[in-house]
Amino acid sequence: MRIGVYICHCGLNIASVINMDALHEKVEQMKGVELVKDIQFMCSDVGQDALMDDIEEHDIDRVLVAACTPKLHENTFKKVLERAGLNTYLLEIVNIREQCSWVHMDHHDMATQKAFDLIKMGVAKLSLLEPLRIRKIKANKDVLVIGGGVAGIEAALTLADSGTHVYMVEKEPTIGGKMALLNEVFPTNDCSICVLAPKMTDVQNHTNIDLFTYSEIKDISGSVGNFTVKGIQNPRYVIIDNCKGCIDECARVCPVDISNPFDSGLGKTKAINMPIPQAIPQTAFINSDYCVGCGLCKQACPADAIDFNMKAEEFTFTVGAVIVATGYQGFDAKRKEEYGYGVFPDVLTNMELERLLNASGPTRGKVVVPSTKETPKKVAFIQCVGSRDETVGNPYCSRVCCMSSMKNAQMIKERYPDTEVTIHYIDIRAAGEMYEEYYVRSQMMGIDFIRGKVAEIQIDTQGKMLLRYEDTLECTLCQENYDLVVLATGMEPSNTTEPIARTLNLTKRTDRFLSIAHPKMRPVDAHINGVFIAGCASGPKEIQVSIAQGSASAARSTRLLARGELENDPFSACVDAEKCIGCRMCEDTCNFNTIKVIDGKAVVDEISCQTCGSCSASCPVDAIDMPHSTDAQIKAQIRAALEVKDEFPLIIAFLCNWCSYASADLAGTSRIQYPTNVRIIKVMCAGRVDPDFVLEALQGGADGVIVAGCRLDECHYIIGNYDAKHRMDNLKEVLEEIGLDQRRLRVEWISAAEGERFAKTIEDYVDELTELGPVGSELQGGDPDE
């Protein structure tokens, strides 16, 4: 083994604090180090060329670069190793700038010692690294889009136009989703169906799209690149290829009247019907829940399209990626009993008003008071019904309700100028392009806005609706009569979302919408590789945002599958079958459904593994390891850090790659000073920290251990930090049993933006451990592996 160590001066960023001559001399004396070089700027062409030359001239087979954070130039040096013919995974970056020189600017001697300790730790790990190889597998380039709303439509068309074959599966008899039922859309007040219908038609006519309507997904198995999809297409009892869309012929003779779900139950339709005039496919269907089987429609149909013998048809296909665009469903206003929905006929929801305003709705665009069939003189909108409401379990804002109510209020004022319209709101949320202007326009039209929650709706002695509310701007309690009340009901996850989440093993947020991998950096990626989430499946949002996410999901899918092959990250978990006892703890721990116990042994789907390491930390017999941070490598770093204890107290800190390590980097770039007592070991996730590592550190002489990860509910690996919290809580009890104070272990959840907090954590912990005294005064001894 011939290790080359390259110490970057970074101009004076490192060299002005660390004694480079002393550091160089110490590193030269280390076992296994063949070559030590000081370079002014390691990332420069000169530095890169020197590294390539040395690999060839001195037969260097492993490289350690002591410089800035690996988040900046790790890929740069990997490419250098690749050009030099060396395996790119035989590289270790040691951070002596952000986490040493920049945060210890007034402590030159201790900063130099810390830099040497970090290099020792890096060499200890490097000596145990093995060459890793990327394995490539073939990937199916087809994509499944679940949901035919506006987000799904946009995703499907974007993919299909780029040459990708798409399967679209929609549960309703027509695509279009909720947008197809709207009258107009804010903030431009475009006719909703006018802008959506051409896209719906494009989906049906596109040669790259296979459309399954009135269908359900039953199972999705496999992993990224090769998902096997199984579903069922329910019988329409109408042959799509034969039906000419002349619905009047068959519906005219149907004797069964039913409430029309596409008119929110306000209008009537027949057991055989077309959901909306612009339905795609432009085909009738028979609602089997109400059809009496009289056969009159079959007799009346001039195209011989009726077939009562139709059966549900199963379908199966394989895709490389899945886009989940299952949309939302409206909050059931009956759950807010104080507003009398379902009891008082003149209390409607915003979606019901949309259908009344719609020219193809039950009243052909006329707004009428249901009980009197007259034009309303006074209309009240009540905001946040089922949103921002802890009593019904929906504390979140549904985002569109304020603007939707303003839009419908404007429509009423335009059609009926003498009608008084009032919007009762908690807060107006009009944050978007043209939204504030839209709000002002509503006020200019004479729409009143009253800030305050409506307490209840009653019927007064004259039989009129009476609203009791608080005007928080005037600080008064009020009551007023209205002819029509419209409830701005919020959004809840679609009832389709739960079964899809279950079959794909997707996680959900506390509000029951689907979780995404990261709210900013990966806004349409699910935690499962190859699955993307668009539109309201991941939470309430406006139409334009849903469209943007549809396009983004399509782009992410295309990028993933463009080459028809996937590269297997060599960092995926590895199982030692001889050690594995088939206890299934790893299977239960894995948040990505990538581990299965088969024939009594754990098997990892290497393509889907997210490399967090939680499974390895959970294994009771150490049968699972992570190639990029094996147990042996981490313990070697711990031992190297404790080999010579030059200061008290000495802290070993395990920091997660995504947040807490980044916060330590931020402390450096912000030049926030803190004590030199900490030695940092980077892990991908706090969930990777095995209790053995903590015991190894404490029983090896560390005075304290910090385990720090992303803030709870913000973990990049779903609940990896919760796994870590559970393990560390249990470990604290073990510490007491072996005679160690629980304060020897500190657990923190720190975001990447909290550099100052990270520094303060180190400072406070040094003070606490100083007061507690050296670990040797407590330690009872013992084997850390027991």
DSSP per-residue string spanning 407-471: HHHHHHHHH-TTSEEEEEES-----STTHHHHHHHHHHTT-EEEES-EEEEEE-TTS-EEEEEEE
784: pLDDT strictly greater than 50 = no
CATH 3.40.50.300 fits 568-624, yes or no: no
Residue intervals of the chain classified under CATH 3.30.70.20 are 568-624
Encoding tokens for residue 311? 């059966």
Q: In the structure, what pLDDT confidence band is assigned to residue 779 with cuts at 50, 70 and 90?
A: low
- Per-residue model confidence (pLDDT) at position 782: 46
- Per-residue model confidence (pLDDT) at position 592: 84
Residue intervals of the chain classified under CATH 3.40.50 are 1-132, 628-775
Tell me the pLDDT tens digit for each residue of 631-679: 999 999 999 999 988 889 999 999 999 899 999 999 999 999 999 999 9
Helix (H, G, I), strand (E, B) or coil at 318: strand
Which has the closest alpha carbon to 93: 108, 72, 114, 109?
72
Tell me the pLDDT tens digit for each residue of 136-189: 889 999 999 999 999 999 999 999 999 999 999 999 999 999 999 999 999 999
> What phi and psi values does residue 257 have, to the nearest 5 degrees?
-95, 135
Q: In what helix (H) or strand (E) does residue 254 lie, and over which residues does it extend?
A: none
564: pLDDT strictly greater than 90 = yes
Q: What is the mean pLDDT of the chain?
A: 94
- Per-residue model confidence (pLDDT) at position 646: 82
What is d(CA 9, CA 21) in angstroms, rounded to the nearest whole number?
A: 11
What is d(CA 487, CA 401) in angstroms, rounded to the nearest whole number?
A: 10
Tell me the pLDDT tens digit for each residue of 16-53: 999 999 999 999 999 999 999 999 999 999 999 999 99
What architecture (CATH level 2) is domain 143-234+315-326+496-561?
Answer: 3-Layer(bba) Sandwich (3.50)
Instruction: Give long-range contacts, CB 8 A cutoff, 24+ apart: 544-548.
Output: 546/149, 546/150, 546/151, 546/154, 547/150, 547/151, 547/154
Strands (E), 284-410: 285-286, 313-319, 321-324, 328-330, 347-349, 378-385
Q: How many residues in total does the chain contain?
A: 786
Residue intervals of the chain classified under CATH 3.50.50.60 are 143-234+315-326+496-561, 329-492
What is d(CA 618, CA 726) in angstroms, rounded to the nearest whole number?
A: 11
Other C-beta atoms lying within 10 Å of the C-beta of residue 231: 20
Report H helices in 482-601.
Answer: 497-504, 543-561, 585-589
Q: Look at domain 628-775 and name its CATH class.
A: alpha beta
Distances (CA, A) of 176 to 180, 280, 466, 496, 594: 5, 8, 37, 16, 34
Q: In what helix (H) or strand (E) does residue 475 lie, and over which residues does it extend?
A: none
Bridge partners for 402 per DSSP: none
The label of the residue with tokens 């609940």 reads 719
- Per-residue model confidence (pLDDT) at position 247: 86
Encoding tokens for residue 19? 């004694």
| DSSP letter assigned to residue 718 | B
Helix (H, G, I), strand (E, B) or coil at 389: strand
- Per-residue model confidence (pLDDT) at position 444: 96
753: pLDDT strictly greater than 80 = yes
The DSSP string of 613-643 is: -HHHHH-TT--EE-TTS-HHHHHHHHHHHHS
- Per-residue model confidence (pLDDT) at position 645: 85
431: pLDDT strictly greater than 90 = no
Q: How far apart are the first and last CA of the chain?
A: 32
Which CATH number describes the domain made up of 1-132? 3.40.50
The CATH fold assigned to 329-492 is: FAD/NAD(P)-binding domain (3.50.50)
599: pLDDT strictly greater than 70 = yes
